[in-house]
Structure 1
Amino acid sequence: MLFLTTLKNFNKLANKRTIYVSQFSKYFSSKTDGGPLQVLNKKIDSQELLPDEHQVEIAKHLQRIYEQIQVYRPPEIPVVKVNPLSKWFPFIFPKPVKPRLDPSKRLKGLYIYGSVGGGKTMLMDMFFECCDMIPNKKRAHFNSFMTEVHKEIHRLKLKQIRDTSTTRVDKVNYDPIEPVARKIRQNSWLVCFDEFQVTDIADAMILKRLFTNLFNFGVVVICTSNRKPDDLYKNGLQRSNFLPFIPILKDHCEVVRLDSGIDYRTTNKGMGEHYFLDEDPDTEFNVDTIFKILCSQENDIIRPKTFTHFGRNLTFAKTCGQVLDTTFNEICSRELGASDYTQLAQYFHTIIIRYVPQLNLRKKSATRRFITLIDSLYDNRVRVVISAEVPLEYLFSEEKPSDLYLDDEHRALMDDLKLSSDSTELSGNIFSGEEEIFAFERTKSRLMEMQTSEYWQLWAKHQ
C-alpha cells in the first residue's frame, strides 16, 4: 500500500515537472525567438513601416549582436588588492597590474551614425526591447548619462576629501573614474546610448579613461549619433586631449552608416497639429483650450509647483497634475541643465511652451537649453505644444553675427582656460556656434514628429 501511494505521488510530481518544463520552454522561446531584424520585417509586412534597405542592413548588424549576446557573459569585475606598504616601498611592493579583458572574449558593440530622421533611434530601441532576457541593461540619452557620471564623480571626490584615513597626497592623486565605471558595470553590462555627441569640454577630457574601463569590464555599447566617430568634438577646445578616445571607440564598436536620404519624421501626416504661431489671433485661444482639456483629465487644480533638484528649488508658475504650461523664458532662459529637463520629462506627460522666439547664435545659451530640453522630452515620449514667433522650419536662424558674440558664460570659460580675445581656440565650436547649427537640425526634425497625432498616441504605450 505504501509502495502504491509513493508511486502515485511520484507520478504527480513527474506530471507537474512536465508542465513546468513545458511552460518554461514556452516562456524562454518567446523571449529569445526572433530579434531586431525579424521585428523590423514584421513591421514592414504589416505596413507599419516603409521598406528601407538601409534600415534592413543596420538591422542585420544588430541581429548579429543580438544572437551573440544570447551566449555572451561579461567577465567578473576584477578586484585589485593593493598592499598598503606599496605607497612607502613601491620597489618592494609594486602596485598590481590591472587585469584586462582578453580581446578574444570581447563582444563588439555598434556605432550607428547618419543624418537626422533616418531611423537610428528606432532600430536601436527595437534591439533594446528584444534583449529582454538581459536584466543588466540600460538605455540612456548620452547627455543625461554624462550628467549622472559627473554627479557621481563629484560625490566620490567629496567622500575622498572627507576620509580622514587617507593622506593629502592620496586625496590629490585620487581618480574616481574607475570606481564610477565599476558602478556602471555592476548595474548594466549592455548600454545603449541615444544621440552620442560630445560638446562639453568636461565630457571630452574623461571619455577615454571612462570608456577604457567600461570596455575592460566587458561592457557592450550600442549607440546612435549624427556624427561619425572621427568628427566627434570637431573643433572642440583642447581636442588633442580627446582624440585618443576615437580609436578606442572604433576598436570596441563596429561603425556603420545609416543614411537613406529620407527624414521619416517629416513624412508623417497631420503635421503642425500642436505648433502655433504667436501672430495668429486664434493661437492663445487654441493653446488655452488644449490646456483646459488636459486639465480636465487630471485629478488636481491649476497651481504653481516647485521641484527640489541638486539642492535648489525650481518653481513653475502654472501646472495641473502632470501638465505644465510654461513659457520659453521660464524654461530656457534660466540656468537649467540636462538633469533638470530629465526630471521634468519624468514627471510631466505634456508640456506647453509659449512664446518661443526665433533662435540664433546671439541666444546661444538659451538655444542650447532648448535643444537639450527637446532631446529629453522626445527621449521620454513627452507631448509638446508650442506657440512660436516663426514657423518651425525657420525656428533657428543660422545667420552668424558679424562680430564674435560672447555671452557671460563663454567669457567665464575663456577666463578658466586662460584664453585671450585673439586666441585661435575661439574658433572652436563652443564659441562659433557650429555645434548648435548642427544639433538644431535634429531638434527641428524631432519637433516635426512631436506635433503629430501618432507621436501623441505613444504616451499611452510608453506608460
Structure 2
Amino acid sequence: MSGVLARYERLIAAGELRADPDQRRAAERLDALERELEAEQSGGLLGQLFGRKKVRAQGVYMWGGVGRGKSMLMDLFHASLDIPEKRRVHFHAFMQEVHAALREARKSESGDPIPPVAQALAKDLKVLAFDEMVVNNSADAMIMSRLFTQLICELNVTVVTTSNRPPRDLYKDGLNREHFLPFIDLIHAEMDVVELNGLTDYRLERIAGLKTWHTPIGDEATAKVREAFFRLTDYPPEDAKNVPSAELDVGGGRMLHVPKSLKGVAVFSFKRLCEQARGAPDYLAIAQAYHTVIIVGIPQMGKDMRNEAARFVTLIDALYENRVKLFATAAAEPENLYPSGDGAFEFERTVSRLKEMQSDEYMALGHGAAG
C-alpha cells in the first residue's frame, strides 16, 4: 500500500489536483508519521529505529482556511495508513460520544470519570483522526485538556486533526477559557502544527456556478442546496440520513441545536432561526462558528410577521458582517420577502445585502469579521 505522499503525487500527475506547496509540506509530514506508526506496528529492528520513542510529536494538527485541502489529505492519510487500530470521526460526533460516556461513568463511578472513559476510547486504538476540530461550547472546553492528556500522554494515542483555526484561536473569547488553555499548550507540546493557508480556496471552485438563492420553495430548490452541502463537505449523498448534528453554545448557558453540522457548514430551517425567540448573540455565535449557512423554507413575510422579519434582519447582518456564505430556499426573491409592514423600510438594507451575498466577489471573501 503506497503512502500519503505517493498518493498525493499521483493525484497531481493525473491532473486531479494542482501542485500546492502547503499541501505538499503537510503530505510530507503525514507521510513521515505514517511510516513511523507502521514501523512501530511491525516491530523488530525497524520498530526500534523508527518506533514511537523516536517520534518527535504525537500527532499532527493541520489548520487553514476553508477549501485548502485539509480533509483531502486526511482522507489520504487514513486510507493509506496500514494499521488496523485506527479511527476517523467527525469531532462533533466524537465529543457527543464522550459526553454520553461520561454521563454513564458518573452513574457507576464515584471518582473521576475521565480516566476510565479515556481508557475505553483508547481500547484497540493507536490513531485517532478528526475532521474539523472546533470548540463552540463550555462543556467541551472544560474537559478537553484532561481527556486528551490522558489519550495522548498516558495512553499513547496518536491524534491527527484538521481545523479552520490555529490552536491559539480555539474557543477564542469563550466562557471560562482559562480552563481550556492547557489544551492549547498540549497541542503545541505533543503535536506538529502544520498550516495550509494558501491563496486558493479549492472548495470554492467546487461550488463555482451554483446559485445560492433558490425560489420557489419545493423539491427542485431543496435539491440545489443539498448539492451545495455535499460539494462543500465531501459527504457522500447516499449517507444523507447520517449527517452529524451539533449543539452550539450561544451564551448565557443556552444551546442551539444545529440539525446538520459538518466541516463548517450548518443547515437550519427559517422556523428554527426566526420563528423562535432569538437575538443577536445567537446569530453571532452561528456566524462565528460556520463559514457557510444553508437556510431552508424562508417564507414571504406579511405584516403579521414583523417579529420574524426583524429577527431575519439581525441574522443576515451577523452573517454578512462575518462573511458567511449563504445558500437558501425561499418563497420569493429578496426584494419581495417583506414588502410591507413595520420595518419594511429598514428591510431594504437586508435586501441589498442578500443580493451582494450572491455575488462572486462576496463568495470569494474569507470567513470572519471584516477588519
TM-score (norm 1): 0.50
SS in 2 for 1:72: helix
Asked if structure 2 preserves the Cα contact closer than 8 Å seen for 1:142 and 1:194, the reply is yes
1:127 corresponds to 2:47: no
1:139 corresponds to 2:88: yes
Deviation, structure 1 residue 66: 1.1
- CA deviation profile, 1:356-404 (whole Å, cap 9, x unmatched): 9799x836547867998999xx9xxxxx9956589xxx9853379xxxx
Could you tell me how far apart the structure 2 residues matched to 1:373 and 1:232 are? 14
Q: For residue 203 of structure 1, what is the aligned residue in structure 2?
A: 140
Deviation, structure 1 residue 239: 1.4
Which residue of 50, 66, 69 corresponds with 2:18? 50
Deviation, structure 1 residue 286: 3.3
Aligned CA distance change for structure 1 residues 54 and 372 (closer, same or farther; 3 Å): closer
Which residue of 300, 304, 318 corresponds with 1:398? 318
SS in 2 for 1:223: strand
Deviation, structure 1 residue 268: 2.7
Aligned CA distance change for structure 1 residues 444 and 283 (closer, same or farther; 3 Å): closer
Asked if structure 1 preserves the Cα contact closer than 8 Å seen for 2:295 and 2:326, the reply is no
Return the index of the structure with the highest Cα Rg.
1
Q: For residue 183 of structure 2, what is the aligned residue in structure 1?
A: 245
SS in 1 for 2:88: strand
Deviation, structure 1 residue 283: 5.0
SS in 2 for 1:126: helix
What is the root-mean-square deviation in Å for CA atoms of aligned residues?
4.4
Q: For residue 63 of structure 2, what is the aligned residue in structure 1?
A: 113
Aligned CA distance change for structure 1 residues 153 and 283 (closer, same or farther; 3 Å): closer
Q: Give the count of matched residue pairs.
A: 276
SS in 1 for 2:99: helix
SS in 2 for 1:244: helix
Which residue of 87, 112, 116 corresponds with 1:179? 116
Task: Name the aligned partner's letter for residue 144 of structure 1.
Answer: A
Task: Name the aligned partner's letter for residue 279 of structure 2.
Answer: R
Task: Name the aligned partner's letter for residue 221 of structure 2.
Answer: V
Task: Name the aligned partner's letter for residue 59 of structure 2.
Answer: G
Aligned CA distance change for structure 1 residues 286 and 244 (closer, same or farther; 3 Å): closer
Could you tell me how far apart the structure 1 residues matched to 2:30 and 2:181 are? 27
1:220 corresponds to 2:188: no
Deviation, structure 1 residue 45: 1.1
Asked if structure 2 preserves the Cα contact closer than 8 Å seen for 1:109 and 1:254, the reply is yes
Asked if structure 1 preserves the Cα contact closer than 8 Å seen for 2:58 and 2:191, the reply is yes
SS in 1 for 2:87: strand
Could you tell me how far apart the structure 1 residues matched to 2:147 and 2:172 are? 20
Deviation, structure 1 residue 119: 0.9
1:157 corresponds to 2:106: yes
Aligned CA distance change for structure 1 residues 284 and 206 (closer, same or farther; 3 Å): closer
Asked if structure 2 preserves the Cα contact closer than 8 Å seen for 1:356 and 1:386, the reply is no
Could you tell me how far apart the structure 2 residues matched to 1:41 and 1:444 are? 34
TM-score (norm 2): 0.61
Q: For residue 332 of structure 2, what is the aligned residue in structure 1?
A: none
- CA deviation profile, 1:151-208 (whole Å, cap 9, x unmatched): 1000111123xxxxxxxxxx3xx11101111111104220111111222111111111
Aligned CA distance change for structure 1 residues 41 and 386 (closer, same or farther; 3 Å): farther
Deviation, structure 1 residue 116: 1.4
Task: Name the aligned partner's letter for residue 287 of structure 1.
Answer: A
Could you tell me how far apart the structure 2 residues matched to 1:141 and 1:39 are? 23
Could you tell me how far apart the structure 2 residues matched to 1:352 and 1:369 are? 10
In structure 1, runs of 5+ residues without a counterpart are 1-31, 76-101, 161-170, 292-320, 325-334, 346-350, 379-383, 401-436, 446-463
SS in 1 for 2:318: coil
Asked if structure 2 preserves the Cα contact closer than 8 Å seen for 1:113 and 1:257, the reply is yes
1:65 corresponds to 2:3: no
Could you tell me how far apart the structure 1 residues matched to 2:12 and 2:85 are? 30
Task: Name the aligned partner's letter for residue 147 of structure 2.
Answer: L
Asked if structure 1 preserves the Cα contact closer than 8 Å seen for 2:62 and 2:193, the reply is yes
Task: Name the aligned partner's letter for residue 47 of structure 1.
Answer: G
Could you tell me how far apart the structure 1 residues matched to 2:116 and 2:13 are? 47
Task: Name the aligned partner's letter for residue 197 of structure 1.
Answer: V
Could you tell me how far apart the structure 2 residues matched to 1:287 and 1:258 are? 34
Could you tell me how far apart the structure 1 residues matched to 2:186 and 2:32 are? 21
Q: For residue 210 of structure 2, what is the aligned residue in structure 1?
A: 272
Asked if structure 2 preserves the Cα contact closer than 8 Å seen for 1:337 and 1:369, the reply is no
Task: Name the aligned partner's letter for residue 230 of structure 1.
Answer: R
Q: For residues 333-352 of structure 1, what are the structure 2 equivalents within 5 Å?
A: 337=257, 341=260
Aligned CA distance change for structure 1 residues 211 and 356 (closer, same or farther; 3 Å): closer
Asked if structure 2 preserves the Cα contact closer than 8 Å seen for 1:354 and 1:387, the reply is yes
Aligned CA distance change for structure 1 residues 103 and 202 (closer, same or farther; 3 Å): farther
- CA deviation profile, 1:301-336 (whole Å, cap 9, x unmatched): xxxxxxxxxxxxxxxxxxxx9888xxxxxxxxxx87
SS in 1 for 2:193: strand
Which residue of 279, 287, 293 corresponds with 1:362? 279
Could you tell me how far apart the structure 2 residues matched to 1:285 and 1:193 are? 33
Q: For residue 231 of structure 1, what is the aligned residue in structure 2?
A: 169
Asked if structure 1 preserves the Cα contact closer than 8 Å seen for 2:64 and 2:197, the reply is yes
SS in 2 for 1:61: helix
Task: Name the aligned partner's letter for residue 44 of structure 1.
Answer: I
Could you tell me how far apart the structure 2 residues matched to 1:283 and 1:260 are? 37
